[in-house]
Structure 1
Amino acid sequence: MLTPLFSLTQTPDELILKLHIPLADLSNSEFLIEDGIVYFGAPPYYLRLELPGSVVEDEDYIQFRLESGDMFITMTKSTPGEHFEDLDLLSRFVINPASKNTASKAGIQVLDSTAVPPEGKTDYDWFLELPEEINSVNNTDEDHMNVEIVKYPYGFAASKSGLFVDKPETCLPIDLPNPDFCPPLKRHQLQLQSVRDHFQAEHYVADYYETEVSANALRQSIPWVENKHGGPEFSDEYRYRLTVLSTHALPLLPPSPSDIDSTEEVKLEDTRTFVYLGLVDLLLAYTYDYRVREGDENCESGWVIAKIAATLSWLELFPNLPTLLRSFYERTLTYPLIRNWKLCRKVQDDVASLLQHENAKAWILYILLEIRRMLIDYPGYYIFVDLFLDDYIVWLQKSASAYILKHLGEAIVSVKMKKADVNLPLRKIEQIAAEALEEEEALAENLGGISLNS
C-alpha cells in the first residue's frame, strides 16, 4: 500500500485534510475517524493519521470533495476557534505499523532504534565549561589515530559507526582523516588546526576594507525575520519527502540533562546537548549561504554549507554554545567567498530570531529540507543526508522541543562574540594592515609633492 501525499490546513472552525490520490479505487474506499485517528483506505493508498486536535467525529460534520485527483476532507473542530499547532510537521502525524529493526543501509550501522517521545520543558546548560585542551591546537598526540581498534560513533546523535571502513570513497566530502577511529576531542583539535592552516590573512583584509563586497549580503532580507508571525510555504516535493520520511526510524537518543545524575561523569557523546547544537550549526551555515546568494539558487550551496558546518565536514560534536559559535566564525572567515565579521554577527542574530520565532519548528523544518536538497544536488554529498539530514528532519517533528529551541535562541542572543574570542589573529592582522595603509598613503602624499623641476 502507498502512503498518499497529504497536507493539513485550517480555518477558525474547521480542519481540512487534502489527499493526493490520482490512482485511487474510490469504489472500494473507506474513511473513519475514531479516538482522534483518521483511517483512510482506497487501493493502492492507505493512511492512518493522528489528528493535531479534537474534531467532531460524527459523519454529519464531515464533508468530502474531489478535484483533479485530490480529495478534500473537511472536519469540524470540537472547539470552534481553537488553533491547531504545527500542521506543517507532517511526519509527526503519520502512524506507522510497528517496524522491525531493519538492516543498515549504505554501510551505516544504526546502534539502536526506537520510538522517541516529544521532549518537554527541559533546561540545558549551553555554557558547560570544558577542559582547556578542547580548544588547543597544540595537542598533537596521535595515539588515537594510529591504533585502529576502537571505532567511534558519529552522525546524528552519534548513532552511526563503521561506514568508512569498507567504503573509504564515501568519506571524500569529509575533511576529518580516518573518521571511524578518531574520538570527538581529537576531531575538534584537528579541525582547529585545519582552520589555522587554511586561513588567508590577505583575503580577510581585502574583505575588511572592501566593504562593498559584503554590502548586499548584509542588506539581504531574511524571510523569518520579515514574516514574524507566518510560516514557510512547503512545495509538493517537500510534502512528499515528509510523507516518505514518516516511516523513517530514529536512532536511540542520548539522555537529556534531566535524565542524568548530576554526580555522574558522562562523555560528550552521551548527552543530548550536541544534538541541538549540531542543528544550530546547520542553521548558521544555511543562513550565511542564504545571505551571500541573496536568496537565489546557487549550485555551490551544498559545498558552502558542508564546509562551514563542522558538524558535517568534521563530524563535530559540540559541547557548548561558545565552542559552536567560535567554530562558525572561524570557518566562515576561512573558507567561503565572503569573509566578513559583521556578516557573521548578522547571521548569528538571524538564527537567534529563527529559534525564537512562533513558528520556529516549521521554518527550521523547511530549512532542513532545503539543505537536504542542496546536499543531494552537490556531487558526492548525499552521505550527509544519510548521516544527519533525514534523522534531523524526523527528530525535529517528533521529538525536538520548541521550548528548548526558544531558550537556545535566547542563549545565542546573550553571546557577544569578540574578535579576541576566535583562534585567529584578527586584531593583529587589522593593525598590520592599517599601518601598511598609512605608510602607503604617506608615500603617495610625499610622491605627490615632488616637482619635476626640483
Structure 2
Amino acid sequence: MITPCFTCCQTEESLIISIYCPSVRAADVEIHVDETLVSVHINPYFLRLNFSYPLLEDDSSSAQYDPSSGYLTVTLTKENKGQVFDDLDLLAKLLAPRPSVAHPTIEVISESTKQEDEPTAEEYLATKTNALSLEHEREEILAAAKNDWQLPQEVPEPQLSTSLQKYYGFLDIHSGYFRHVAHTENEVNELGPDAETCTRAERRRRRVQHEDKKWDEEHYMADFADDEYIRDLLTWRHPHAQRVDDFQYSEEENATILRLPRKEYLPSSTQTHNLYLALLTLLFSYAYESRTNQLDPTPESAWTISTLVPAFSALDPPDSPAASIADPLKFSWGELAGTFVTSYRRSLAFPLYRSFILAEACRRDVAQFLSGGKRMIVRCLLEMKKILDHHEVYYIYSKVWLDDFCVWVQAHASDDVLVNLGKQVAELQVSKGSIGWRLEALEAATQGLEGRESDSDDDDEDSDDSA
C-alpha cells in the first residue's frame, strides 16, 4: 500500500482531510472512523491517522473526489463542536500508531461486598505466605536496628549474555548495519569491525581515546592566533535561530516525513530522558556544519555531521543512569555540561575550524533551535537527514538515528520540555578546563608568542630608523 500525500485543516464543527490520490475510482473509497482513528483506503492508497480528539461519521460528513486535481476531500464531524485539534501540521504525529494500553484496568471490590464465608484453600495459602513475608521483614528490621540501621548489601551477580551481538541506535533497536564495515570506506566509524560487538563501556573508552589521539595543540593554537575567518563565522545568524510565528513545512519536507517509518515507541522514563540529551548532540553537530558552511552543504558535510555526533562515530550517545535522574523531564547542570563537553571536544579535535568560541556559538544556536519547539527541531533534523541520505556510506546513520528521531520528536517530544531545555542550554557555562586539553595554557602561550614577534618587529624598525 502507498501512503498518499495529505493535509489536514479544521473548522468550528468539522475536520477536513485532503488526500492526493490521482487516477483512482471514487466508488472504491472505504472510510472508517473509530473515535480518534480514521482509516481511508482507495486502492492502491491507504492512510491511517490518529487524532487527539474523537470524530464522527454522521450525516454532515462527506467525501468528494475531484478527478481533475486528483484530490479526495474527506469531511468528518467533531464529536465536541468547537474543540480545537492541535498539531494538524505534524504529519508524523498523525501517522503514528495509536498508543498501546500499557496496563490492564483492575476493578477493586470493596470489603463490604464480600461474604463472611470460610476461606478457600487458595485464600488460606495466600494468608500464610503473607504472614511469612511479614515475619521475614520483621527479622530484617530487628537485625538492622542491632547493626546501627545498616542494611546488608551484596554485589549483584553479572547477567549472563549468550550472544556477542550488541544493539545501538535509537533506543538500541538496531543491529547489523556495521557487519561488513571493513569492506566500506567509513572513515567515521571509530570502532572498526568490532562495532557490532562492543559493549557500551568499551565504546566510550575507545571514543575518548580516539579524541585524545586526534587532538592537535598546534592546530588549535594556529586557529586561535589567526581567527579572522572564524570571527566572520561568529557574525553569521542562523535563519532557524529566529522565531517563526506562521511555521509551515515545505512540500519536500512533508514528502520526507511521509516516508519515515511508522513505529510505536515505548521508551522508559530513563530512555526518554537520555533521548533529549542525545538530541542536544545532534543539534550541536548540525549547528557546527551549517554555521561553518552557512547552509550551503559541501561534499564534506556528511563527514562533519557524522564525526561530531558521538552516537554516530562511536555508537556512544550520552546517558544518565536511572539512579541519578530525579525527574525524567528535568536536567541537571552537570549532565548538560557533560553532554556539551563531549561535543566541544569533538569540534576541537576533528573538523577544519577548531575554536572554543566557535563551539560556544554553536551551543547558543542549539538553545535557539530548542526555543522554536519541535517543529523547528524537526526541520533541522530533516536537513541533516537530507545530507546524510545522499552519501553512499554515511546514510546508515540516518537509518539508525535520524529517521526514528524525526518521528519521535514530532509525535512524542514536549514543546514545554524543549523550550525549558533551551533556556538551560543558553545559560549553560562550559569551562575550558573541563575539556581536558590545557586550552587556557595554550591560548596564553599563543598570545605570548604573538607579543614577542611584535616586539621583534618593533626592534627591527627602531634599528632601521637609527641607521
Percent identity (aligned): 27
**Structure 2 counterpart of 1:199, from 189, 199, 215:** 215
Q: Distance in 1 between matches of 2:49 and 2:362?
A: 37
**Residues 11/447 of structure 1: CA separation in 2 closer, same or farther (3 Å cut):** farther
Q: Distance in 2 between matches of 1:33 and 1:151?
A: 43
Alpha-carbon offset, residue 95 of structure 1: 6.4
TM-score for the superposition, normalised by structure 2? 0.74
Q: Distance in 1 between matches of 2:185 and 2:88?
A: 37
Segments of 5+ residues of structure 1 without an aligned counterpart are 98-113, 118-147, 258-270
1:158 aligns with 2:162: no
Alpha-carbon offset, residue 152 of structure 1: 3.4
TM-score for the superposition, normalised by structure 1? 0.75
SS at match of 1:85: coil
**Residues 304/47 of structure 1: CA separation in 2 closer, same or farther (3 Å cut):** same
Alpha-carbon offset, residue 171 of structure 1: 8.2
User: Greater CA deviation, 4-13 or 411-420?
Assistant: 4-13
1:88 aligns with 2:101: no
Q: Distance in 2 between matches of 1:300 and 1:198?
A: 18
Q: Distance in 2 between matches of 1:15 and 1:282?
A: 35
Partner of 2:147: none
SS at match of 2:285: helix
- For residues 31-430 of structure 1, the aligned pairs below 5 Å read 31-53=31-53, 57-60=57-60, 62=62, 64=64, 66=66, 68-74=69-75, 83-94=84-95, 150-161=164-175, 163-165=177-179, 168-169=182-183, 172=186, 173-177=188-192, 178-236=194-252, 238-248=253-263, 250=265, 253=267, 255-257=268-270, 271-319=271-319, 320-357=335-372, 360-430=373-443
CA contact (8 A) 2:96 2:411 kept: no
**Residues 57/216 of structure 1: CA separation in 2 closer, same or farther (3 Å cut):** farther
Q: Distance in 1 between matches of 2:184 and 2:168?
A: 14
Q: Distance in 1 between matches of 2:251 and 2:435?
A: 39
Letter in 2 for 1:364: I
Alpha-carbon offset, residue 347 of structure 1: 1.8
Alpha-carbon offset, residue 230 of structure 1: 3.7
Larger RCO: 1 or 2 (CA < 8 Å, sep 6+): 1
Q: Distance in 2 between matches of 1:425 and 1:232?
A: 45
Q: Distance in 2 between matches of 1:334 and 1:69?
A: 53
User: Greater CA deviation, 76-85 or 171-180?
Assistant: 76-85
Alpha-carbon offset, residue 434 of structure 1: 0.7
More helix by share: 2
Q: Which has the larger radius of gyration?
A: 2
Alpha-carbon offset, residue 286 of structure 1: 0.7
What do the CA deviations read for 1:27-76 (whole angstroms, capped 9, x no partner)? 32244545233332222222222234455644436574635223344556
**Residues 228/209 of structure 1: CA separation in 2 closer, same or farther (3 Å cut):** farther
Q: Distance in 2 between matches of 1:65 and 1:337?
A: 55
